[in-house]
Amino acid sequence: MYKQLGKYAKPLVATASLLLALGASEAYAVVSGITGPTFNLTAKADYISTADGQALWMWGYTNGVTMQYPGPTLIVNQGDTVTINLTNSLTDINGAALATTPVSIVFPGQSGVTTSCAAATPVGTAGALTCEAANGQTVSYSFTASQPGTYLYESGTRPDLQTEMGLVGSIVVLPTTGVGGAVLPKQAYGSANTSFDNEYLFFLTEADIDVHTAVEQGTLSPDLTNRHAVLWFINGRNGPDTLLANGYPLLPTQPYSALARTIPGKRTLLRVVNAGTDLHPFHTHGNNVITIARDGRLLESAANASVGAAPGYPNLSVSDYTLKAIPGETYDGIWTWTGAG
Which residues are bridge partners to 105 per DSSP? Answer: none
**What pLDDT was estimated at residue 308?**
52
C-alpha torsion sign, points 6, 8, 10, 15: negative
pTM of structure:
0.91
**What pLDDT was estimated at residue 13?**
30
Nearest one of 32, 158, 184 to 90, comparing CA atoms: 158
| Rounded Cα–Cα distance for residues 45 and 167 (Å) | 10
Sorted by where each begins, the domain ranges of the chain are 3-11+18-336
CA distances to 46, 58, 238, 251, 258 from 254, in Å: 11, 11, 10, 5, 11
**What pLDDT was estimated at residue 222?**
85
**What pLDDT was estimated at residue 27?**
53
**What pLDDT was estimated at residue 110?**
97
Order of strands, sheet of 74-77, starting from the edge strand that comes earlier in the sequence: 34-35, 74-77, 168-174, 149-154
Which residues are bridge partners to 41 per DSSP? Answer: 86
Q: Which CATH superfamily is domain 3-11+18-336 in?
A: Cupredoxins -  blue copper proteins (2.60.40.420)
Which residues are bridge partners to 281 per DSSP? Answer: 324
| Rounded Cα–Cα distance for residues 293 and 149 (Å) | 8
**What pLDDT was estimated at residue 30?**
84
Mean pLDDT per block of 10 residues along the chain (341 residues) reads: 45 37 53 96 98 94 98 97 98 96 98 97 96 98 97 98 98 90 93 94 98 96 91 97 96 97 93 97 93 96 64 88 96 90 54
**What pLDDT was estimated at residue 306?**
54
Which residues have C-beta within 8 Å of that of residue 187, sequence separation ≥ 6?
175, 194, 195, 196
